[in-house]
């Protein structure tokens, strides 16, 4: 007979099945965005991680974006049948399973060689819109080929209108349905982690990064095995012969930033783009009202994830005042600091129509490739459902400010904005 201590041990011992698949093993421990971020930090060369994780100057805005969500408290209701929770919504006339959009991020292949293709495939599986950046490292056409879901294209207001027009026409031809115009980049923000490492935007690899690469062999092997990184969305729209060279293309891109951009430039986009337009980078009530008056379909309250102006307001703090000022005349996307399903619930309760995520999916991509992004999107979906159930709200459509603590402010009708 086994000694009693051994029986006692047997009754409590639970050993996890040995996981032989290294990606699954890694992802098993990633139950939050912060977990994904920590895995990304370990796996990526420091310069690459800092390019993704970093922000402008003291990074106060980047931190505030996250803290603004944390400082919001729910006012939960109980005994409110939440046996079935409905997270569906509609954005720009399209039904979505969750009020979530994957934000445009440049140079996504720095996180993992599949880059934009992996993220676009994963977004399509989840039925969520994927926004392809102008600074993408996979082309408009390559992404369209693998992404059966809703596709958005992001543009900057660049000097070369011929180049812009050509990119927009390619996006339209390839089934991209919404244009995101990023307007918070009159000049580039000062990302000091990148500057310190010689990892500029547009990025070029410095000696530090190369040494770092040697210290992170899994990333380096993946990077070296893949075809060289370029900006194909831009390159295919220029007659330049050095389009395959990311560094000379980087100089070209730098010369395209136009500090003289103004509201008049938006009219030009209207002529070329026949679908809905989202103005991304709105940071004040006054500009939100102007965007609404200009007849734009949506705005993304955004400070570029804190990567442009440090000291910019957190998008979550702007939702309520902007919604109160614009009513239901324009759709509002909250972009920046979203790390959990509960953040999505808070944003919608305040008056947003949807949220965008940037870093969250890049950390996930770095942590586990396409499967990492799948896992992240499932976790955000589950987190949204769980939060709705815990606050006693049966659906996204029924959310309003009464589910939050603090001065209630005007309550939005649940049928608005979609």
Active-site residue, from 46, 304, 371, 385: 304
**What is the spatial distance between Cα 96 and Cα 153, in angstroms, rounded to a whole number?**
18
**What is the spatial distance between Cα 402 and Cα 411, in angstroms, rounded to a whole number?**
7
Site string for ligand FMN, 304-343 (x = CB under 6 A): xx-x---------------------------xxxx-----
The separation between CA 399 and the C-alpha centre of its own chain, rounded to angstroms, equals 23
H-state helical runs in 55-189:
60-70, 115-126, 140-146, 161-173
Is 190 a residue of the active site? no
Q: Which of 45, 47, 104, 129: binder of ligand FMN (CB under 6 A)? A: 104
Q: Which of 91, 103, 288, 309: binder of ligand FMN (CB under 6 A)? A: 103
- What is each CA distance from 414 to 89, 107, 351, 398, in whole angstroms? 11, 38, 10, 5
Residues in region 73-92 near ligand FMN by CB under 6 A: none
- What is each CA distance from 55 to 86, 102, 195, 206, 315, in whole angstroms? 35, 19, 11, 19, 15
Q: Decide: 115 and 137 in contact? Cβ < 8 Å.
A: yes
Where does this chain touch ligand FMN (CB under 6 A) — which range of 171-179, 253-261, 266-274, 353-361?
A: 353-361
Local structure of 182: helix, strand or coil: strand
Nearest residue (CB) to ligand FMN, 30 versus 48: 48
Q: Which of 135, 229, 320, 352: binder of ligand FMN (CB under 6 A)? A: 135
Task: Centre a 10 Å sphere on the Cβ of residue 287 and count the other Cβ atoms it contains.
Answer: 17
Number of residue whose CB is nearest ligand FMN: 358
Residue 372 contacts ligand FMN per CB under 6 A: no
- Minimum distance, C-beta of residue 133 to ligand FMN, in the bound complex (Å): 3
Which residues, listed in sequence order, are joined to residue 156 by a DSSP beta bridge? 182
Q: Which of 322, 357, 373, 391: binder of ligand FMN (CB under 6 A)? A: 357
Residue 279 contacts ligand FMN per CB under 6 A: no
Local structure of 8: helix, strand or coil: helix
Count, residues in the chain: 418
Nearest residue (CB) to ligand FMN, 103 versus 168: 103
Residue 216 contacts ligand FMN per CB under 6 A: no
Largest Cα–Cα distance in the chain?
86
Where does this chain touch ligand FMN (CB under 6 A) — which range of 5-13, 122-130, 248-256, 302-310?
A: 302-310
219: left (phi over 0), alpha (psi -120 to 50) or beta: alpha
- Minimum distance, C-beta of residue 368 to ligand FMN, in the bound complex (Å): 18
Residue 359 contacts ligand FMN per CB under 6 A: yes
Q: Which of 65, 209, 233, 237: binder of ligand FMN (CB under 6 A)? A: 65
Residues making contact with ligand FMN (CB under 6 A): 52, 65, 103-106, 133, 135, 154, 182, 280, 302, 304-305, 307, 335-338, 357-360, 362
Known catalytic residues are: 304
């Amino acid at each position: 007979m086994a000694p009693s201590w051994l029986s006692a041990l047997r009754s409590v011992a639970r050993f996890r099945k040995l996981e032989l698949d290294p990606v699954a093993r890694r992802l098993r421990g990633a139950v939050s965005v912060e977990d994904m971020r920590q895995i990304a930090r370990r796996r990526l060369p420091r310069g690459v991680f800092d390019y993704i994780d970093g922000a402008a100057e003291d990074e106060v805005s980047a931190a505030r974006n996250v803290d603004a969500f944390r400082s919001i408290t729910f006012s939960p209701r109980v005994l409110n049948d939440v046996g079935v929770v409905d997270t569906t919504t509609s954005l720009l006339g399209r039904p979505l399973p969750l009020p979530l959009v994957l934000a445009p991020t440049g140079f996504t292949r720095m996180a993992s060689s599949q880059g934009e293709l992996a993220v676009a495939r994963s977004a399509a599986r989840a039925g969520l819109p994927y926004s392809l950046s102008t600074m993408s490292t996979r082309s408009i056409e390559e992404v369209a080929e693998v992404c059966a879901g809703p596709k958005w294209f992001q543009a900057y207001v660049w000097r070369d209108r011929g180049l812009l027009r050509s990119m927009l026409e390619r996006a339209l031809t390839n089934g991209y349905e919404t244009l995101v115009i990023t307007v918070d980049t009159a000049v580039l923000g000062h990302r000091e982690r990148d500057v310190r490492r010689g990892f500029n935007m547009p990025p070029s690899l410095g000696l530090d990064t190369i040494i770092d690469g040697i210290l992170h062999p899994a990333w380096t092997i993946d990077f070296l095995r893949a075809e060289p990184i370029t900006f194909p969305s831009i390159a295919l729209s220029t007659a330049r012969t050095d389009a395959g060279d990311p560094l000379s293309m980087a100089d070209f891109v730098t010369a395209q930033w136009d500090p003289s951009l103004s509201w008049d430039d938006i009219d030009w986009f209207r002529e070329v783009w026949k679908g809905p337009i989202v103005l991304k980078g709105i940071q004040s009530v006054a500009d939100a009202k102007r965007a609404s008056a200009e007849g734009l379909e949506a705005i993304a309250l955004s400070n570029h994830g804190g990567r442009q102006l440090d000291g910019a307001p957190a998008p979550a703090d702007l939702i309520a005042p902007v919604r109160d000022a614009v009513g239901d005349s324009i759709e509002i996307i909250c972009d920046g600091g979203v790390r959990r399903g509960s953040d999505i619930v808070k944003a919608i309760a305040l008056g947003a129509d949807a949220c965008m995520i940037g870093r969250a999916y890049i950390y996930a991509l770095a942590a586990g490739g396409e499967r990492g992004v799948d896992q992240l999107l499932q976790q955000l979906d589950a987190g949204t459902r769980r939060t709705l159930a815990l606050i006693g709200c049966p659906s996204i459509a029924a959310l309003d400010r009464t589910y939050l603590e603090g001065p209630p402010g005007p309550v939005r009708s649940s049928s608005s904005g979609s």
